[in-house]
Structure 1
Amino acid sequence: MVSVRAVVAHDELHRGGESLVLVDGQVHRVSALGTFIREQADGPVTLEELAQVLETAFGPPPEGTALEQTRAAVEVLLAAGLLEAVAG
């Protein structure tokens, strides 16, 4: 099963639930949802685990399933280099 974890940032600034994250010389503005996902992924976590935590914290998504929406959000964070896939 594949898990994800947050990439260690060089620096982070949190304000109003959002964050600015410095990774590999690039600053990323991360939404409240992305920031929450990175916080939950301080160690390896599966998409299923993340979906459950997100649904508990934010309620069910307006469209699709929690797992589908979690997968979409994680893919964005992976592409930005803010999460990494790990064997878990």
Structure 2
Amino acid sequence: MGCKILLGCLDLYDINIKGKNGEDLGNTVGNDQLGKTLQYTITNANGFTCWGDVTIEDKIKPTIMCPSVPLIVNCLSDISKIAPPVE
């Protein structure tokens, strides 16, 4: 069973998330819940509800910062210890 919440209409719904042991997490999750499966309940203004389980995942790509200064390597250096360039 799934629910679709349209952005801009969040004030029309009451969202409640509970942890594995039934602890009330409110309507926000964070890094502490990554990898966990939580129970949710969504109630609209008319009192209709839907519920289910949701697994919290982080799908955002990491940002890699590269130095703007060129890396100068001696011709006799062991380049196996140098990370390959990122494209």
TM range (shorter): under 0.3
TM-score (norm 1): 0.21
- Structure number with higher strand proportion: 1
- Structure number with higher helix proportion: 1
TM-score (norm 2): 0.21
Larger-gyration structure (1/2): 2
